[in-house]
Amino acid sequence: MHDDRRITEERLDRFVRERILPAIYGRAIPLQLSSWDAPGEPVPAAEALRQVYAQQEPGAPWGKAWSTKWLRLQGEVPEDWGMAESTTVEIIVDLGFNSEVPGFQCEGTAWRSDGSIIKAISPRNYHVPLKLLGGGHSVDFYVEAAANPDVAQGWSFAPTPLGDKATSGEEPQYRLGRIAIAEMNETVWELNQDVWTLSGLMHELPIEMPRRHEILRALERMLDVMDPDDVAGTAAAGRAELTQVLSRPAYASAHELLATGHAHIDSAWLWPVRETIRKCARTFSNVVALMDEDPDFVFSCSSAQQMAWMKEFFPELFVRIREKVKAGQFVPVGGMWVESDTNMPGGEAMARQFVEGKSFFLNEFDIECQEAWLPDSFGYSGAIPQIVKEAGSRWFLTQKISWNKVNRMPHHTFAWEGIDGTRLFTHFPPVDTYNAELHGRELAHAERNYRDHGRGTMSLVPFGYGDGGGGPTREMVAAAHRTADLEGSPKVRMGTAKDFFMKAEAEYTKLPVWVGEMYLEMHRGTYTSQAKTKRGNRRSEHLLREAELWCATAAVRLGGAYAYPAGELKRLWRLVLLQQFHDILPGSSIAWVHQDAERNYEAIARDLEAIISHAAQALVGEGVQQFLLNAAPHQRNGVPALGAAEATEPGPGVTVDELEDGYVLDNGIIRAVLNHDGLLTSLVDHASGRDAIAPGHTGNLLELFRDTPNEWDAWDIEEFYRRNVTPLTQADALDVERSPSAVVVVVKRKVGASTISQRLTLDAGAASLGISTTVDWQEREKMLKIAFPLDVRADRSASETQFGHVFRPTHTNTSWEAAKFEICAHRWIHVAEPGYGVAVSNSSSYGHDVTRAVRADGGTTTTVRTSLLRSARFPDPEADRGEHTLELSIRPGAAIADAVEEGYRTNLQPRFITGGRPVEPLLSVTNPAIVVEAVKLAEDGSGDVIVRLYESLGERSTGILSANFECSDVIATDLLERPAEAPGVTVEKGSDAKLVLRPFQLVTLRLIR
């Protein structure tokens, strides 16, 4: 038989493009348009609907970037339209779409005149069924058109001014397209879905398979029976030719795909938060409308924050969502406040993502999410399994690891073991996207790509337009129905994430295990980009710690004389949690987003400082004594952890001696030698007598690197950045400041258009050298790091993560190790050989790298670098330009316990207050290895004290927690403060709990008042 396969396929493509698609809508008449332009930011519908609308010219340009135009659409539907069999009437609204980038351009929301939402208008979902307008033949409704600019611009990663309202310009971004009443032929539409599904499947089947040719010939017969001049009249005959191939059942062994509707809406990214709120309303109104049409359709929706926005700003839509939740179609998933970054949020913040998210879903919908849902975060901390389990959840889903540039994850369904030994049932959908359309190409890829065949038989597919929203469409739902049982295709079944996890967990019992973090081999620059956002996050986390501690202490100590500000603390926590979204905290958003974040952090700091001041003053009362408030979990200057008292003198002062080439600073604990360029040539702790700085090297070395990633500028650092480095070895000026309690060496440098001023401080009684670096940063496509070459043979580094730390090799034996050339650490990083180590702590940095080299003398130099600043040009061309202050400390002769203490010391600056009485800590722990991370009052308003603590050293640790107030019992709870099993926790008596904790174990205790 002659092979005319390609000829037939080309014939099919053209017939669909030129005949079927244009025939979906037959008769059409334009609508009468009028409009009103919102003068600034978006306004509520109630306000917009009462404005005076002027005549709007069809096809006119409209919308400067980020503006909003309200359109009124009016007209009459001819009496005979929609009367014929298989026809219906819809309104088509084209705002000037580019159909290739849904979610990244103009969008609209259709509104009834009573202020209720109809549905969204978007590039691939631009129809409004007449029946949704309330019946009758009159058309009169409104479209809120948002002129969101296409910041991505084809993903060229070119700098653009569009991400900042101040620079985005006045030029119209779009031109109105076809806006009309149209008669839709449902048979032609159904035919198009048949062809789309079969053609997609056919192209994925091997040429030698009979099934591929069977589909081809059926499509050919369809083409033969249809009249290109009368597609509507012959569409039914065309469908009849496809009936047989569409009805053939799937193979018995076909992979099963559970398809759940989804719309991964970034809570901010290439648009500001204010636009995300409208994106959510558009998407969710689409979803609810789709549910009304198809009771089988199920939608998985994460992020309690987005639901909270709907409740606040779109209450009518929220009521409809709640009804669909009750019906089991609109399904909350994830249980987090937002889909946060998981690398950089602190332990308590990560816990609060689940506390706030799960509590919201429980309170509003009476649903407890059992899965953590993080398809798009940029790597996953090894602490997550324990946090998820402690929140009362049991499953985890991610997608982003498919972006790895070098190594492929060996499993799609597996047990993920966290740093404390907790194992979590985890799924990584082999479809490799969270924005699936259920095209044959995607379904076939999911089946081929699945790495657990023979052990598991199913995987999950989240389908729907995401990132910028939009969600599932009726075309996707039609594809799901057609592929439910179709020969050659995986079996597609619509359902919930819970449906998938329950069945997958039951069938796949002997899971492979992945231990530790799931490091993403991309987007490593997000540990450093937008330094002010990162500083705001770190500062906010610690201010919240202080505020809750002192407020709880005041509430217990003062009783009714002090009211615990639970509502205000919750509001501030939620605002901080929002900023931890995986495109805000990572620094990968437009300028507008980060300007908002910085304003939010300023407001958070102002409000928390007031709360702390009020609580602390109430605690110490009136008087003239000066007290040190010690919110750290370790004793400081004679003041007990979590209490307030007069600080003791730090000990002998600091001496400074001038050498021929520098200065020697000595406080009797450590001795630091600096040359005249401000470089650290020696750092010795007197206890060991050992020099931490490698021979022939200098620490405090600022290094300027070329930073030109191949793509994803604010996100990525490429390994080749290391090949172009300029060490900043010369100082422009150096000065020494002396005081009885400290010596400060001030060093000034200039590089390019930037100026750098450093203050190297040795305090009396300190075991570390403090380094404060202030930079007026004016570079572009450069990265600034600070290096400490250490005389330590370390085969691994330890980096703080949530409730513990993670070890990473310093060598590059394998491709997995080589790929980790930039790593994330929280407050400290530590390198050591047996018996000796060095800790480097920071107050706002997250990116680090650790390299090693063997010297000619046989010793090993392990170099720790902290990444200070970057200057990417996309999506924010002015990223990080301006003044920054970044605090570090380096502590020689440090064990892990010293690193933990140093991390808190660097991030909790001394806070003094004048009053009349000291403050006894609410509680004490006998072993400093057991670290108290949070002290607060219970969420239920009972007045009970909640304590969150963890084992910090990575070893079995024992101790006693004692309540220093009238306490009737101590109860172990989960993160949501519900009674739970806590291995190793026993109550000795009413106010004491004996703790025998495994490495990194996280424990929450309720102290009953």
Phi, psi of 265 (to 5 degrees): -95, 110
* Cα–Cα distance measured from residue 586 to residue 400, given in angstroms and rounded to the nearest whole number: 15
* Cα–Cα distance measured from residue 363 to residue 308, given in angstroms and rounded to the nearest whole number: 11
CA atoms within a 13 Å half-sphere pointing along the CA-CB vector of 15? 27
**Cα Rg of the chain, angstroms:** 31
All residues at 6 or more sequence positions from 853 whose CB lies less than 8 Å from its CB, including other chains: 860, 861, 863
- Dig out the tokens for 278 from the structure: 């409208």
- Dig out the tokens for 448 from the structure: 């081929």
- Dig out the tokens for 994 from the structure: 């004996």
Write out the E strands in 123-205: 127-129, 138-146, 172-175, 179-185
* Cα–Cα distance measured from residue 790 to residue 772, given in angstroms and rounded to the nearest whole number: 20
Angle between helices 5-15 and 210-225 (to 10 degrees): 50
Instruction: Dump the DSSP string for 546-573.
Output: HHHHHHHHHHHHHGGGS---HHHHHHHH
* Cα–Cα distance measured from residue 285 to residue 308, given in angstroms and rounded to the nearest whole number: 15
Burial 80-114 (b: 16+ CB within 10 A, else e): ebbeeeebbbbbbbbbbbeeebbbbbbbbbbbbee
Classify 736 as helix, strand or coil: strand
* Cα–Cα distance measured from residue 382 to residue 465, given in angstroms and rounded to the nearest whole number: 30
Residues, the chain, total?
1009
Specify which residues 797 forms β-bridges with.
808, 831
- Dig out the tokens for 877 from the structure: 């061309």
The gap from C-alpha 853 to its chain's centroid, in whole angstroms, comes to 35
422 by Cβ neighbours in 10 Å (0-12 / 13-18 / 19+) ranks as buried
Alpha helices in 16-57 (DSSP H): 21-23, 45-49
Is 105 in contact with 124 (CB distance < 8 Å)? no
Dihedral of the alpha carbons of 438, 444, 446, 448, in degrees to the nearest 10: 180
CA atoms within a 13 Å half-sphere pointing along the CA-CB vector of 343? 29
Rounded to a whole number of angstroms, the distance between the first and last alpha carbons of the chain is: 87
Classify 150 as helix, strand or coil: coil
Residue 64 φ/ψ region, left for φ over 0, alpha for ψ in the -120 to 50 degree band, beta for the rest: beta
* Cα–Cα distance measured from residue 310 to residue 281, given in angstroms and rounded to the nearest whole number: 7
Is 991 in contact with 1005 (CB distance < 8 Å)? no
DSSP 640: P
Classify 406 as helix, strand or coil: coil
- Looking at the chain, the number of H-run helices and the number of E-run strands are 19, 53
Write out the E strands in 448-585: 458-463, 491-494, 513-515
Annotated catalytic residues are 376
Q: Give the residue carrying structure tokens 């009750």.
A: 326
Helix, strand, coil proportions of the chain in percent (round to 5)? 30, 35, 40
* Cα–Cα distance measured from residue 231 to residue 451, given in angstroms and rounded to the nearest whole number: 44
Closest residue by Cα to residue 505 from 413, 393, 399, 391? 413
Pairing of strands 107-111, 61-64: unpaired
